[in-house]
Structure 1
Amino acid sequence: MSQAPIYFEFPDSAAAAIALDTLTELGYHAHATGQEGKAGVQLYIDHNDLTSALEIAQANGGNLLDTDTTPAETESYSMAYDLDSVPIPAHVVNEDWPESYYTSAGGGTIGSADENGADPDLFDPSGDDYDRFSAGVRL
Structure 2
Amino acid sequence: GRAEMVELLLDSRADIGATNPADGITPLICAVRFARDVRLVKALLAKGAKPDPPDANGMTALHHGVSDSARLDSFLAMLEVNPDVNVRCPSGRTPLHLAIQNSHTALATALIDHGADVTVRC
TM-score, normalisation: structure 1: 0.26
Return the structure number with greater helix share: 2
Return the structure number with greater strand share: 1
Say which one has the larger Rg: 1
